[in-house]
Homo-oligomer: A and B are copies of this chain.
Amino acid sequence: MSDYSPARPCRLEAVPGWDIETDVAVVGFGAAGSCAALEARAAGAEVAVFEVASAGGGSAAWSGGEVYVGGSGGTEVQRAADFPDTTEAFERYLTMAGGPAADAERVALYARHGVEHFEWLKAQDVPFKGTYLPGKWIEPTTDDTLLWSGSEQAWPFRDQAAPAPRGHTARHVGWGGGKVLMQALCERAEETGARVHVGARALCLIVDAEGAVCGLVVRLDGRAQYVRARGGVVLCAGGFITNRAMVERFAPEALACRQVVSGGHDDGVGIRMGISVGGATLNMQEFFATLPFFPPESLVKGIFVNTRGQRFINEDCYHGRVAHYVLRQPERKAWLLVDNAIFARPVIEPDIEIAAVGESWEEVARELGLPEGALEHSVAEFNRRAAAGEDPDFHKAAEWLRPLDEPPFAALAYSPEDTDFHAFTLGGLATRPEGEVLDADGAAIAGLYAAGRTACGLPRWGEGYSSGLSLGDSTFFGRRAGRQAARRAGAGLVHADEALPSAST
């Protein structure tokens, strides 16, 4: 085999000749890559896409197909369901969801153009039925397509950002709307003339004497081929959750999650190629994690406690936020306490371990081996306040407050040791909103772009994730990266006056 590595660029002088020449080379044909290809083609550029799998779709094809959009008075779907979303609320929510590392420029841009982006997705023939599904769900299993997909109605989000449902799912009956979304985007990209090479493994970038990226080496048809990209290379190769050595180095806490959310090729090749030419990485330790403990939503009325018998979160927030709080508890242990009235087995984890059952909370506490009186106190306090419709400590919304007072009582084991948490990575290359990969000083590396989970985008904080944020980010910023690379190739010059909307417009 070759001795190329994504961690080392190939120098232009070492290229024996070009096998493929194009304006824009896109690595990866998932959510970001397909949208990058579409926009680069729309700008008039020649586009070659290199996908390691035998077909397009990427990890997005294995997802629920939710796209998190809103603002601007609401999408057509939001308005039809009487949720007139505002850009201000959307922007505020995204800022809170981004956590300490939220990127104000990216957030502002996305908030302002979310509705427009949704219209664009529809124009690519992604089907959205447009009906609203109330309640707490992970994905719709009906063909409804608008749902509450994050912590919008939960504290502290609801106090600072007027809530609206923003999870827009591709129309599909059952789980897995992602394949519907990706079928549309990939088909459309090919229709517009993007040349897609499947079974093509990116080996490394090619750099010129000034350090600009001018192409890449791919393994295709059994040999190393040299790809010239006049405008640049757009890295849309996903995150790194399937590369366990990388996870161990960069995001070791994600190792607690035994299951990955991935189509199987999130091996970090895009991030590694970016690092190889001086690209800086951001937030490499962050990851989405979850064990969805609902539906059924009755379980949201239970309370989580740790080994000290303390509550630690408002249980009505997004399931991934709960998961991260669990990962931070002593010994990473937590239980969901339920009584007979709300007991059910979670749809996604029906075999969840029932760690304790008893006719009294004392019995449950003893069975769990908790410090004397601690759990009993937590439940008593919760019950007293829930009866009054209050939760002053954790601010769970009134509709989920109900005393846990109907025996028998039970504790469901909700820890990564007891069951399989799912994860994908949120860290990646530092980029501008237009996709340029940035070096250690924040300057753009000529000819290199990234989007999707190869970049550190909108979702930057496991605790703040909402379903649909990654697909929204990947498709929206994938578009911009493709367009920018096309511009650099010169192919887009006819459209030069028709600038993409920026944060300041």
Contacts and interface: CB of A to CB of B under 8 A. Distances in A.
Nearest to A281: B281
Interface string A203-236: 0000001010000000000000000000000000
Copies in the complex: 2
Given A101-B252, A374-B393, A377-B377, A443 B5 contact: yes
Contact of A278 (B268, B277, B393): B277
A135 interface: no
Given A276-B278, A371-B392, A211 B8 contact: yes
A138 to B, nearest CB: 27
Contact of A8 (B7, B249, B381, B439): B439
A13 B13 CA distance: 13
Nearest to A272: B440
A342 interface: no
Nearest to A370: B392
B441 A5 contact: yes
A174 interface: no
Contacts of A83: none
A470 B349 CA distance: 44
Interface in A254-281: 268, 271-272, 275-281
A501 interface: no
A6 interface: yes
Query: Which of under 10, 10 to 19, 20 to 34, or 35 or more describes the interface residues of A?
Result: 35 or more
Contacts of A9: 211, 278
Contacts of A5: 439, 441, 443
A407 interface: no
Contact of A253 (B100, B252, B276): B100
Interface stretch (A36-44, A49-57, A126-134, A282-290): A282-290
A310 B7 CA distance: 47
B285 A440 contact: no
A117 interface: no
Contacts of A195: none
A308 interface: yes
A7 B283 contact: no
A62 interface: no
A493 interface: no
A442 interface: yes
A158 interface: no
Contacts of A430: 249
B276 A275 contact: no
Contacts of A279: 275
Contact of A439 (B252, B276, B393): B276
B281 A100 contact: no
Interface string A418-450: 000000000000100000000111110000000
22 contacts: A5-B443, A6-B440, A8-B211, A8-B443, A11-B209, A100-B252, A101-B252, A249-B282, A250-B280, A272-B440, A272-B441, A275-B440, A276-B440, A277-B278, A281-B284, A282-B284, A283-B285, A310-B310, A310-B393, A328-B328, A371-B392, A372-B392
Which 8 residue pairs across A and B have the least CB separation, nearest first? A272-B440, A371-B392, A7-B441, A7-B439, A275-B440, A7-B440, A308-B393, A100-B252
Interface of A: 5-9, 11, 13, 100-101, 209, 211, 245, 249-250, 252-253, 268, 271-272, 275-285, 308-310, 328, 371-372, 374, 377, 381, 392-394, 430, 439-443
Given A8-B278, A371-B392, 7 more contacts: A7-B439, A7-B441, A250-B280, A275-B279, A277-B278, A282-B284, A285-B285
